[in-house]
A and B are shown apart, each in its own frame.
Chain A
C-alpha cells in the first residue's frame, strides 16, 4: 500500500511527461511503427481496393446446346458488367479444371435442347457454378447471376406469353407488375474502398496504440530504472498518469495524418464533419490508453503485458462487427463484444462517416467509451496501489 508519498510538483509532472516523450522517441522501432505503420497501411489498402468494386469476374461457358438461342445467352453473359467471359469450354471436366486451377471463378453450363425447350415454353435449367473458396468473389458472382437470371426468366416468360397469343406490351406489363427497385443508401456504388480502407488503417492504428499503452506500467516496472523512480518517492499514480497523458496525445497525433489523407486527399465519405470525428477518436484514444494501462498494471512483466495487448488488439477488429455483423455472431458473443472499446469505436465510426445520425444517437457511443476508460483506469489505479511494483529483486 502506498502511503505518505510526497506531493508532486508541476516541474516533476512536466519532467515525467518530457521523459515519456524522450523514451518514445529513443525507442526507434516503436517510433517508426507508431509514425508510419498506419499511414503505410492506409496507402497499401488503398492500392488493394483501388478498383473500389469487384467487376470482371472471370467466367467460362459450357454451351451444350450450340443453338442460336444459347449463343444469344452467351452474348448476354459476355455483356454483363460484372462478368468477364474468358473461356468457352467443350466439356464439364474442362470447366471443372479451369475453376480448380483458379483461372475462372464462375462457370455457366447451358444444357442441351436449351433453345428448343425455351421455344416450346418448357422449363429449362441453366447451371451457374461459383468458386466459393473466395467469399467476396462468390458473393459478387452470385449477385450478378441473380440479376442475369431475373432478366432471362422475364424475357423467356414474355416470349412464352407472346407465343400463346398475348400482346407483347401486355406480356411485358404482366412481368413488371411488381417493380422491385434496389436503392443502396450511404454507399450507393457499394464501394469497397469507402467501406474498408480507412477502417483497416484505423485498425492498424488501434493495434499500435494498444500495444504501446500496454507498456505504460509494466514497461517501467520491468526496468532496473524503476528502482530509482521508487527511491525518489514520486507517487506511482502521478508517474503513470503523466506517462498516460503523453501517450494519449501521441495516439491522437498519430491518427491525424490518417484522417487528413483519407478525408481531404482521398475524399473518403465523412458525413459528420471533421471536429466530431476528431472528438470521437480522442475519446476512443482515451479508452484504448486506459485498456492498455489496465492490462499493463495487471501484467507481471513487459512480455506478459505485450501478450495481453496482442490478445485484445489483434481480434478486436473482427469482433467489432465492422466486417461481419454483430447480429450474426453467437448470442453470448454479441453481448461480450460490447465490452471492447474497439466495438464502440468502429460501430460509431461507421455511423459518423456514412450516416451522421445526430448527437442524440451517437452520444451513447461517447458515453460508453468514457465509462470503459473510467473502469479501466480505476482497475489500473487499484492494481498499481496494491501491487508492490519493483519489489522483485532479492539478491545478494
Chain B
C-alpha cells in the first residue's frame, strides 16, 4: 500500500470515529464538520517537510486530540445552541443529560425537568385512561377525615368517593399541557443560562466560565 493510501486510511478511521459520536447532529452539519477536519489534517500534514505521510498525519491527529473528545466538544456546543430554543422535550432532555454528567447543577436541572415531564405524561395518561377505566381513574377523597386517598390510576378501585368524575379528562389535558410548557421553559432557560456561564471550554474538560461570559452574565 502506498504511503498516501495509508495516510488516507488513517484519516478515514479518525473521521469515522468522530462521525459515530456526532450521529445526534444533522447530517449536513456533520458532513461540513468532517470536511473541515479533513482539510485541517491535510494542511497540517503538508506543513511538515516530509509531506503527507502516515507519520505526519498521526502528528496532525495528535494535535487534534482523541476523536471522541473532539466530537464531544462539537456535540455539547451544538446541542446547547439548539436546545436553548427548541420545543422538543427529547432534545432538551438529551442536552440536560449531557450537562448532568458534567456538573451537580446540571444533574439537579436534569432531575427537576425529568420530574416535570413525567408529571405532564402522568396527567395525559390519566386523561386518556379515564374512558377506558372510568372507575379506576380519578381523585378519591375521604370525606370523614378530609384526606386525599389517591389521584390518578388506582387498582383496585378505592371505596372512598371519587370527586372529579369525567372532568379529570379536560383537567388532565390542561395540567399536562401546563406542566409540559412550564418544564420546557424551565429547562430551556437553564440551558441558555449554563451555555452563557460555561463558555467554550466546558465541553471537553469541565473548566469553568470564561471571563467574558461571566462578565455578560453579571450584567
Asked whether A and B interact, the reply is: no
